[in-house]
Amino acid sequence: MADDEDETTLSRLGRELAFAEQAVRQPGTGAIGNLECRLADLQVRFLTTPARSLGDLEAKLHVVRGLVASLGSRGYLLDLVESTIADVRSIAAQNARPANDPD
């Protein structure tokens, strides 16, 4: 999440995954085989790394959002994913508040 001082493994993996996916789609990519192998490795690592925080859960949801958005026109599933991301952020913000802070 944006407030975390140290980056989570899933956040870093999510960014690397997005970068590799974008690189594979670039025209004229010379080492496409290497990029595809890297992408496959990142996908497996991202899938098998358990979420240990709300930040990790949000990182996974952002990957899901990217996949859903790539399916075509906006619809219920994309709205559901975005709503869930908003819920995770809200819960994280509530958890970050001091216990004596009034709502």
Residue 103: the pLDDT is 59
Above 70 in pLDDT, residue 30? Answer: no
Residues in the chain: 103
Of residues 102 and 96, the one with the higher pLDDT is: 96
Residue 3: the pLDDT is 45
88: alpha, beta or left? (left if phi > 0; alpha if psi -120 to 50): alpha
Task: For 43-97, write each residue's pLDDT tens digit.
Answer: 899 889 999 999 999 999 999 998 899 898 889 999 999 999 999 999 999 999 8
Above 70 in pLDDT, residue 33? Answer: yes
Number of DSSP helices (H) and strands (E) in the chain, helices first = 4, 0
